[in-house]
Amino acid sequence: MSLTLRSSLLFILLMPFSLCVQADENGVALLKKIDELFRSNTSVATMKMTITTPNWQRTLEMQSWTQGMEDTFIRVLSPRKDRGVATLKKDKEMWNFFPKINKVIKVPPSMMMGSWMGSDFTNDDLVREVSLVEEYHVTKTELDDTYQLTLLPKKSTVTVWGKITIVVNKADLLPLEQNYFNEKGEKIRAMTFSQIRDFSGKKMPAIMTMVPLNKSGHKTVIEYVDAKFDSKLKDNIFTLRNLKTRF
């Protein structure tokens, strides 16, 4: 989730800054920029997540608030029977709330690699702090229209990914593709970014599609309906109290 929801939301804030920056030869610098794009302030967004599996298909509508990289609050708006289900992430801890049974469940470390809300994104994706520059070594190759960044984890990094590659569009320095590989070098997940749209004056990809390659017939598509950036957020949003609020 680090480069996905978070990144796209945070993209918006930093887009204007990034457009001023010149792309340089050093991959680290580019990655740093992408990283820094996500060093953000706040965002409030509405999005739709469509999950497809061989047995069922579901579309969730959600509202999300983020602050920096530590705090995320997501609330489900539809379908009706899931309305009010919420997720709070503060630092490295994560909780889910189910209004029908009025219970807050803390997500234990053992469930971190489990799927979030039944999608192909994991709880870990949401929680993991995004600092790719700090956690990965990066090399950059240049192609005709794109830069390709190859990220390998540093010795001290704890992660299940043996390698991550990011394909960045030269023109707007927005990512086109992000691929996740395991330690054996097998591609496990592929994420594509599409539909660059304008959100409150910032350009960013509105649609992210995550396809797990080790399961056939599964796909999760997140579409940003609208997003607002850098507005002042109330202090009490990222609290357990807010999580349990009747909505």
Q: Which stretch binds another protein (CB under 8 A): 53-61, 165-173, 224-232, 233-241?
A: 53-61
Out of 22, 55, 156, 216, the only residue in the binding site for another protein (CB under 8 A) is 55
Are the CB atoms for 73 and 238 separated by under 8 Å?
A: yes
Q: Which stretch binds another protein (CB under 8 A): 8-16, 49-57, 198-206, 234-242?
A: 49-57
Q: Which stretch binds another protein (CB under 8 A): 40-48, 79-87, 162-170, 232-240?
A: 79-87
Helix extents (H) in 69-198: 123-127, 132-135
**Both structure tokens of 224:** 């940003």
If you ran DSSP here, which 8-state letter would residue 186 be given?
-
Out of 92, 103, 106, 215, the only residue in the binding site for another protein (CB under 8 A) is 103
Q: Which of 132, 168, 138 is nearest to 152 (CA)?
A: 138
Residue 212 binds another protein (CB under 8 A)? no
d(CA 86, CA 244): 8
d(CA 8, CA 194): 11
State in angstroms the smallest separation of the CB of 97 from another protein. 10
State in angstroms the smallest separation of the CB of 64 from another protein. 18
d(CA 145, CA 33): 18
The b-or-e profile of 119-132 (16+ CB within 10 A means b, else e) is bbbbbbbbbbebbb
Residue 58 binds another protein (CB under 8 A)? yes
State in angstroms the smallest separation of the CB of 43 from another protein. 26
First to last CA, the chain: 26
99: cis peptide before it, omega within 30°?
A: no
Residue 246 binds another protein (CB under 8 A)? no
Residue 101 binds another protein (CB under 8 A)? yes
State in angstroms the smallest separation of the CB of 55 from another protein. 5
Residue 187 binds another protein (CB under 8 A)? no
Residues in contact with another protein by the rule CB under 8 A: 51, 53, 55-58, 79, 81-82, 85, 98, 100-101, 103, 105, 117-118
